Homo-oligomer: A and B are copies of this chain.
Amino acid sequence: MKLFRTLISVDEALRTVLAYAKRTGQEELGFDDALNRVLAEDVHSPVDSPPFDRAAMDGYAIRGEDSFGASPTKAVRLRIRNKRVEIGAGEGFPIQTGMPIPKGSNAVVMLEYTKERGSDLELFRPVTPGKNVSFIGEDVKKGDVVLKEGRVLRAHDLGMLASIFKSTVRVYKRAKLGIISTGDELLDPSVAGGSGIADVNSYVLTALTKKIADPRRIGIVSDDYESIKTAISAGLDDCDGLLTTGGSSVGKRDFLADAVSDLGVIKFHGVAIRPGEPTGFGIIKDKPVFVLPGYPVAAISAFEMLV
């Protein structure tokens, strides 16, 4: 009988797989459609953020210098301006968090430390210039790289794209991964009322693949060499790569590694994972083919480690 002569380590297997990892094509998407996609560009901010000097608190925009000397027992009195115009010495402008502070002002005194007296304003605390203000470009400067090529876009990254008005982004296309189960004994569990051995792997791998690529369930192929070769060739015509399960070991009906060798090159076969030892990886027509074990737990563990 055949046995695995050498098992390679998981690290080595992973290095081999990554060495053959290829980027798929690119596409331009609305930023809000790009959740969980991989960026294909460095994103430079087209704007400053904040776009202007803005209040970081509710209160009054003033010239910080005017508040010096204010204390709970000795208020400083300013005039309230209700129009957004340039303010001068001894003036204050009522302001909400996030609003631009008016020209001439350089600080915000919090509402809690003020009291309105008719058209005047009393301050009970001093603020230094710059206090409670976010200055233009403080978070992001125009031209800064805010997200790098290769990043998987999460919800807060979409928020970053929104905040800089980056309405579309270039991302890599999702790879189409064909999924083949092999085994004469397998039955499709989506057909109600079945009993016997269900093709579990096609469905678990489809669900796992959804996170990273576009799964195409090819279905069940019987345990003979020609059927398997035909299914692999046809699958690769339509997909960017394949996951096969079953027939991956070295028994009499374990044709997968031989079929991959025959159609292309097998890069490794036999990995030091348990369960998942009979795992292989090959390249056919420049596309990756993962040869995973048939036993579902083994197939899942091999998938999680390598794909």
Q: Whole-angstrom distance between the alpha carbons of A196 and B111 in the complex?
A: 25
Within the assembled complex, what's the spacing in Å between the Cα atoms of A155 and B210? 10
Complex CA distance for A238 and B281, rounded to whole angstroms: 50
A4-45 interface (Cβ within 8 A of B): 30-32, 35
If A32-B190, A165-B192, A167-B193 are given as contacts, then 17 extra A-B residue pairs at C-beta distance below 8 Å, sorted by A number, are A1-B111, A32-B203, A32-B207, A35-B210, A58-B251, A58-B252, A96-B251, A97-B251, A98-B294, A154-B207, A158-B204, A159-B300, A162-B198, A162-B200, A163-B296, A166-B189, A167-B194
A98-B185, A197-B51, A204-B162 known; A111 and B251 CB under 8 Å?
A: yes
Residues of B within 8 A of A190 (CB): 30-32, 162, 167
State whether B204 touches A156 (Cβ < 8 A). Answer: yes
Q: Which residue of chain B has the shortest Cβ distance to A48 in the bound complex?
A: B195
Contact: B31 with A159, CB < 8 Å?
A: no
- Chain A positions within 8 Å of B, measured between CB atoms, are 1, 3, 30-32, 35, 47, 50-51, 58, 96-99, 111-112, 154-156, 158-159, 161-168, 183, 185, 187, 189-204, 206-208, 210, 249, 251-253, 294-296, 300
- Chain B residues in 8 Å Cβ range of A1: 111-112
